[in-house]
Amino acid sequence: MMKKLNILLVVVALLALGSTMIAQDLWPAPAGADELGKKIFFENIASPDRIACATCHAPRTGFTGPIAGINKKGAVYPGAIPQRFGNRKPPSANYVTVGPLFDYDPVEGLFFGGTFWDGRATGWKLGNPAADQAQGPFLNPVEHNNAGPAAVLAQIAKSKKMSRLWESVWGEPISYSTPEEVNLNYDRVGVSIAAYEASEEVNPYTSKFDYVMAGQATFTAQEQEGWDLFQDEEKANCIACHMPPDFTDFTYDNLGIPPNPDNPFYKMDQVFLDDGSPINPLGPNWIDYGLAEFLTKLATSDDWRDLPYTTDQLKSMTSAEIMLLVDENKGKHKVSTLRNVDMRPGNGFTKAYGHNGYFKSLEEITHFYNTRDVEPWPAPEVPETINDSELGDLGLTLQEERAIVAFMKTLTDGYVPTAAPAALPAGKGLALKVTGPNPFNPSTHFDYTLMEAADVRLEVYNVLGQKVATLASGHHAPGVYRADFSARDLPSGIYLMLLQNGREKVTAKVTLIK
């Protein structure tokens, strides 16, 4: 099924403000929360204290699994108790905060938003899926294995650096002596980690692709061929699901990936939790139904309907209506971002791809997309709902596959364009900075700098590439200028500002929330 979901509507809920006092107090996060969140992210807060968030989400691999030996096999990482394993490979934690709340589009018949591979971190509690997600692993007995939120807060409080920073950010010492304090401060933990994951350090937009789009670099012939194929509706058409700027459409899909026989979760019927129950009672008979499992939980419980950010569309659906959608969503998993899909310590380092880590290289998963239905691949784990309209028999040559891989490698952050001076990495004679509110409603402003006299244009584009406004045009003397942007008549979404002088281009991004 072709995905025509309008990305502008998808991102409406990006940083939506809620109506309850607690929600308003927490998100958007206060100044300094990103620094606090970073410290929590890299601290071993577990029982026993053997792992941190960064153990499975390391910067050097694009905030996913950093151990090549694990990636080569099951791709699932052990928890604080090393005999215990979950069921999927670690999803990337970069560019995750740009996604919307978990929701349903009745026109397209598609669920979108949320995070985790199965969408269960909805954002309905704290206003951003990444904040909800950050709370989960600490309490999961197959991951950090903490006894409860108070145990997490106690470990943070033991660190003098974190406790001092906590008081600076949240305006009061960390406390957990009452249930109310525990709930509030554990929510602050989630929001702090999400603030770090939303920071420029995690989402810098410094890939070669970004510099090419800004006019500061040029694709090689092979990379350009790959980008052309990526966009071509008659060829690869990757852009149908992996849309710029974040290279995902935030939906869920069943690619027909085979089960990973090395997944340690199949052996978790022989490993037990503290209450004596097996981690995976089904053992080797377990099937990963992904999104459908989460939808089943929604259909059999109503607690989520009262959360502060639950979307109106989901609230309007009865449990029976949700249950009717379970079967068609079996085997679907999150369409992940392609940003940093090839980030790794070296060319010999193995990364795993797919929700279960079945694929061990970009070349392998690209070949699967191209040939799933025409070469003897193993059978899909969930055959009933596989996407057979957008992949499986693309008819690409091996040369074209290699070109697409070459393009995807340009999405790795940290690219340094040879022509860009260190003082002004975004352009030699131009600079553009958002100086007004961001997110904003209905107006914001920008400062732009010219190092020399030039004819310049400052234009605004939506994520579909359509120009929606021209903020400045004409000859400018050297200096600093301010431009106001009113979006009173525009829909919510992400907007790109493009400043150019005929030789150079620089960009900035803002989010409109109404």
Contact 214, 182 (CB under 8 A): no
Q: Name the nearest CA neighbour of 474 among 454, 450, 445.
A: 454
- Sequential DSSP letters for 107-164: TTTEEE--BSTTS-B-STTTSSHHHHHHHHHHH-TTTT--SSHHHHHHHHHH-HHHHH
Tell me phi and psi for residue 169, to 5 degrees.
-75, -50
Residue extents of the structural domains in the chain: 424-512
With tokens 């493009």, the residue in question is 498
Identify residue 309 by its one-letter amino acid code.
Answer: Y
Q: What is the pLDDT along the chain (514 residues), one digit of tens a residue?
A: 344 334 333 333 333 323 222 334 566 788 899 999 999 999 999 999 999 999 999 999 999 999 999 999 999 999 999 999 999 999 999 999 988 999 999 999 999 999 999 999 999 999 999 999 999 999 999 999 999 999 999 999 999 999 999 999 999 999 999 999 999 999 999 999 999 999 999 999 999 998 888 888 999 999 999 999 999 999 999 999 999 889 999 999 999 999 999 999 999 999 999 999 999 999 999 999 999 999 999 999 999 999 999 999 999 999 999 999 999 999 999 999 999 999 999 999 999 999 999 999 999 999 999 999 999 999 999 999 999 999 999 999 999 999 999 999 999 999 988 754 333 344 457 888 888 787 788 888 888 888 888 889 999 988 667 789 999 998 888 877 889 899 988 887 778 888 988 778 888 888 787 6
With tokens 């980008």, the residue in question is 227
Dist CA 329 CA 336 (whole Å): 17
What stretch of H or E contains 302?
A: none
CB-facing half-sphere around the CA of 128: CA atoms within 13 A: 26
Dist CA 86 CA 354 (whole Å): 15
The architecture (CATH level 2) of 424-512 comes to: Sandwich (2.60)
Q: Which two tokens stand for residue 374?
A: 């025409």
